[in-house]
């Protein structure tokens, strides 16, 4: 019984530590997320935070993402207190989906990596 309880405590603290690590990656906010489905709205910041954390580890960043429509996103990225040019992203032949969100996140990460050099 105590082994199972200890395992529960360990997994709970691991989850708390993972949440703390995720929060320390940087800030991301999605405005007008109601233009996207709930799962896509959640995925936008998660993908961007993960991509930036890998591209520029140890850097401070914040991202303000705006869902302009179901097929357009815009992002304002601040990296280590420097505001970078607004980035626009559009899907021409359909709506934003998980794949296109990953492409957008990767492009923001590449911009951040180039800026940090």
Over residues 7-43, the pLDDT tens digits come to 434 444 433 434 445 445 699 999 987 899 999 999 9
Cα separation values, 61 from 25, 40, 54, 99, Å: 8, 21, 12, 23
> Terminal CA-to-CA distance of the chain, rounded, Å?
53
CB 61, CB 80: distance < 8 Å: yes
Q: What is the pTM of this model?
A: 0.78
Q: Which domains does the chain have, with CATH numbers?
A: 26-116 (3.30.160.100)
pLDDT of res. 24: 54
What is the residue-averaged pLDDT of the chain?
84
């Amino acid at each position: 019984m105590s082994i199972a309880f200890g395992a529960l405590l360990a997994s709970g603290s691991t989850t708390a530590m993972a949440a703390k690590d995720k929060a320390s990656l940087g800030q991301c906010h999605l405005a007008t997320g109601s233009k996207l489905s709930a799962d896509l709205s959640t995925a936008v910041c998660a993908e961007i935070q993960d991509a930036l954390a890998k591209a520029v580890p140890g850097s401070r960043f914040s991202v303000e993402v705006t869902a302009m429509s179901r097929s357009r996103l815009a992002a304002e990225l601040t990296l280590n207190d420097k505001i970078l040019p607004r980035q626009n992203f559009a899907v021409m032949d359909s709506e934003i989906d998980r794949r296109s969100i990953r492409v957008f996140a990767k492009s923001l990460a590449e911009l951040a990596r180039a800026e940090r050099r």
